[in-house]
Structure formats: structure tokens, C-alpha cells
Amino acid sequence: MILPDTQTFLSVDLPAMLAALFACLSCALVGNFLVLRRQSLMGDAISHAVLPGIVAGFLVAGTRDTLPMLTGALVAAVSAGLLIELVRRLGKVEAGAAMGVVFTSLFALGVILIEQGPARQVDLDADCVLYGQLEGILWFGPAGWSSLLDPGTWASLPRQVVQLATVFAFCLAIVLIFLKELTLVSFDPALADTLGLRSALVQHGIVALAALCAIAAFEAVGSILVIAMLICPAATARLLCDRMPAQIALSLLAGAITAIGGYMLGAFGPMLVGFDHSVGAAGSIATLSGLILALAILFAPRYGVLARRRLARATAPALA
């Protein structure tokens, strides 16, 4: 069993883990409001709907710079959210069908755009979109564990990590300041409307925030992981608590554990079984998030399946 040396760990694994950590934390945080509002699949819709935006950004800018592609993605995601809402209200189509029609059509548009002229020559790698490029995040600053104590080292933190940390800080600020408004709109939009808070606006805001987290995360961890992290930590927390502050805190904890644990498992796990290559971090993190959710489903103290069975059996004799 060969563990990586300190330098490799600090330069390759640490920045990748930090990127994954912040991406997962952002998604876990915003995902709470999607799950509570029964819009869990918005993450899936967004990940597919951004494809034409990314390609359009590339075609318009003519370069493979990330900024035009990210902008295109954001525009596409927000448009998708608006289109879905429009189809739902104008067509009186139910939410799932509206989402399905819009995101698949946008995805198809993206697939076609990829095949046109300039986009075809350049290899807009489908793999990148799906799994991200955590392996490509490198940090040349640190030289040994002690250098982490030196602020100068942190100045050379890779762009992706800084970006993701900023997005997380932004989302955290919004959620902390407007927690009661977000809770109100998620719980009872009709009351929000009668109190004068336009629930429709807040709902669009939540989707926009989710799109921001998702798109910031795509480059690093890819779309599969984003979908998983928008749902699984929040769903896990749902089974473990009964109040909003606990829900938020637990989902962040679950997100952090999943990110770090999943990365470690993906990077070093295969070596434990004698397999030479590491398994992509995105896939292993997504798998771990599902595993943790499964554990919560079975073993949650009050809302888990086993707990419910025990409760049912305990009350049954009393009813007999």
C-alpha cells in the first residue's frame, strides 16, 4: 500500500478536497430549500439545461475561457427556471412534466449546438461536464504541512477553490440573513403573499441561487455530483431533525462528511483493495452521499424505517 507523499497530498489532494468541500457545502445549503419545497429535481433540470448556455458562451466568445461559458450557463439556467414556471402557469402543466419538457429540449438544443461549426472542432469534453475536473486543481504554494500556517501560502490558492469558497460564503450570508423569509415561503407561500412578501419572487430567487451554486460547482465536480449534493444531505437531515436551524446545520455536516470522506475513498480506497487507479472523486462522493442517506433512512432514531417498525410493534399490543 503506497500512500502519497506529503507534497503530492498538499499540492494535488488538498486543493481538490477543498474545492469539493465548498462545492458540496453550497449545494447542501441551498438544496434544503429545494427539498423542502418539493423541487428536488430542479438540480437535475438545471444541470441539463445549462448545456446550450455553455456551448453558446463558447461560440460567442470564440475562446475556451471559463467566464463566457459560465455566464452562458447562468443565463441558460435562469431562463430554464423562468421557462418552466411559464409552462406551468400558462399551460397549467404539472411541475414534473414542465421540468421534463423544458430541460430535455434545452439539452437537445445543446447537443445540436455542439455539433455545429467551431464547437465541433474543439473537443468540449462531455466527461468534464459530467464528472468535473477535480484532478486538474493544483496548488503550488505549500511546501510541507508547516507552510499552511503561513498566510502567504494561501495567497496562491487555486482560482477554483477561491471561487467556490466565495460562492459558499455568499449563499451562507443570504440564508442566514433571510432564513425566516425562506422558511416562510417554503412552508406557506399563501401566507407570505397575504403578508406582502411576493412568494413568486422568492421562489425564483431560490432557483437562481441553486443555479449559481450548481454552475460554480460544475467545473470542479461536474453535474452528477451537483444533483446528488442538492438532494442527499438535505434529505438526510430531514430524517434526523424537526426544526429549521438543525436542518441547515445537519445538512452542512452531512455535506462536509460526504465531500471529504468521498474524496478520500475515491482517491485512496481502491489502493486498499489493490487496485492501481483511483476512481473518479465525483462518482465516489455521489455514491457516499447516497450511502449516508440510505443509513439515515434505515437507522434514523425517530423517522428511520427500523425506528418506525419498533414503534409500530410497541403500540400494536396496546391497540389490541
Partner 1 sequence: MAMLQRLRTRNFIPPADAGVSPLCVTGLSVAYHRQLALRDVSWAAPTGGLVAVVGPNGAGKSTFLKAVLGLVPALAGTVEVYGRPLAQQRGLIGYVPQRESVDWDFPVNALDVVTMGRYGMIGWGRRITGAHKRAGMAALDRVGMADYARRQIGQLSGGQQQRVFLARALAQEARLYFMDEPLAGVDAATEQTILAVLRELEAEGRTVICVHHDLQTVAATFDHVLMLNRTLVAAGPVATTLTDANLRLAYGQRASGLSLLS
Partner 2 sequence: MMEGLPFAAMGHNTAMVLAGTTALGIAAGTVGCFMVLRRRALVSDALSHATLPGIVIAFLVGLALGVEGRSLPLLLLGAAISGALAVAAIQAITRWTRLPEDAAIGAVLSCFFGIGVVLLSVVQALPAANAAGLKGFIFGQTAAMRSGEAATLAVLALAALAGVALFFKELRLLAFDEGFARAAGWPTGRFDLGLMALVTLVTVAGLQTVGLVLIIALLITPAAAARFWTDRLGIMLLVAGLIGGLSGGIGALLSARFQNLPAGAIIVLVAACFFMASLFFAPARGLLARTLRRARLRASLGAAR
How many other C-beta atoms are found inside a 10 Å radius of the C-beta of residue 93? Answer: 16
Near partner 1 by CB under 8 A, which window of 14-22, 130-138, 186-194, 257-265?
186-194
* Pattern 170-209, partner 2, x by CB under 8 A: ----------------------------------------
> In the complex with partner 2, which residue's Cβ is closer, 148 or 264?
264
The CA-atom distances, in angstroms, between 90 and each of 75, 98, 180, 211, 317 are 22, 11, 30, 23, 53
Nearest to 23 by CA among 200, 203, 171, 175: 171
Q: At a CB cut-off of 8 Å and minimum separation 6, what does 106 contact?
A: 48, 49, 51, 52, 76, 80
Counting contacts by CB under 8 A, is residue 177 touching partner 1? Answer: yes
Where do the H-state alpha helices sit in 178-280? 179-187, 189-195, 199-238, 244-272
* Closest CB to partner 2 among residues 59, 228: 228
Provide, rounded to whole angstroms, the least separation between the CB of residue 301 and partner 1: 14
Near partner 2 by CB under 8 A: residue from 191, 249, 295, 305: 305
Nearer of residues 150 and 188 to partner 1, judged by Cβ: 188
CA pair distance 158, 169, nearest whole angstrom: 17
Helical (H) or strand (E) element with 165: helix 159-177
Intra-chain end-to-end CA distance of the chain, in Å = 59
20 touches 263 (CB < 8 A): yes
Question: Can you tell me the distance from the alpha carbon of 106 to that of 78, in angstroms, rounded to the nearest whole number?
Answer: 12
Q: Which stretch binds partner 1 (CB under 8 A): 16-24, 39-47, 184-192, 216-224?
A: 184-192
- Using CB under 8 A, pick the residue from 235, 248, 252, 267 that binds partner 2: 235
Q: CB neighbours (10 Å) of residue 190?
A: 8
Q: How far is the CB of 45 from partner 2 (least distance, A)?
A: 9
Please pick, from the candidates 87, 241, 264, 307, the single residue that binds partner 1 as defined by CB under 8 A.
241
Q: Of these, 115, 121, 149, 314, which contacts partner 2 (CB under 8 A)?
A: 115
CB of 166 to partner 2, least distance (A): 25
94 near partner 1 (CB under 8 A) = no
Site for partner 1 in 111-150 (CB under 8 A): none
DSSP for 274-303?
T-SSPPPHHHHHHHHHHHHHHHHHHH-TTT
DSSP H or E run through 121: helix 117-121
289 binds, among partner 1, partner 2, none (CB under 5 to 8 A by kind): partner 2
> Going residue by residue from 24 to 63, which x/- string records binding to partner 2, judged by CB under 8 A?
-----------x--xxxx-xx---x---------------
95 binds partner 1 (CB under 8 A): no
Give the binding site for partner 1 (CB under 8 A).
36, 38, 177-178, 180-181, 183-184, 186-188, 190-191, 193-197, 238, 241-244, 246-247
